[in-house]
Amino acid sequence: MAVANFSLFTLHFSLKFVTLHSVMRKLILLSAAVMTLSASAAQPNDSLDARYYRLFAPVTFYHNVADKALALNSDAAGKDAVADEVDATLLNVYLNRPDLVSATETELRETGTIRDDVDQPIENQVVLVDRVEAPVIDLPEDAPDSVVVQKPKFWTYKGDGFLQFMQNYVTDNWYKGGESNYSMVGSIVLEANYDNKNKWKWDNKLEAKLGFLRSPSDSIHKFKANEDLIRLTSKLGLEAAKNWYYTLQFLAYTQFTRGLKANDPVVYSDFCSPLNLNLGLGMDYKVNKLKERLTGTINISPLAINYRYVDRLELGPSFGLEPGKHSLLDFGSQLTADLEWKMNENVTWKTRFYAFTSYKRFELEWENTFELRVSKYITANLFLFPRFDDSSVRDDDHGYWQFKEYSSIGFAYKF
**Checking DSSP bridges between strand 60-61 and strand 103-104, what pairing results, if any?**
parallel
The length of the chain, given as a count of residues: 415
pLDDT for the residue numbered 73: 66
Closest CA to 243 of 280, 202, 288: 288
Distance between CA atoms of residues 20 and 205, nearest Å: 104
Positive or negative, the CA dihedral 393, 397, 401, 404 is negative
pLDDT for the residue numbered 111: 75
pLDDT for the residue numbered 4: 42
Whether residue 228 contacts residue 209, with contact meaning beta carbons closer than 8 Å, is answered with yes
Residue type, 404: K
85: CB partners within 8 A, 6+ apart: none
pLDDT for the residue numbered 215: 85
Largest Cα separation within the chain, whole Å, is 162
Give the residue ranges of the chain where pLDDT is below 50.
Answer: 1-23, 26, 29-30, 32-34, 36-47
Distance between CA atoms of residues 326 and 316, nearest Å: 7
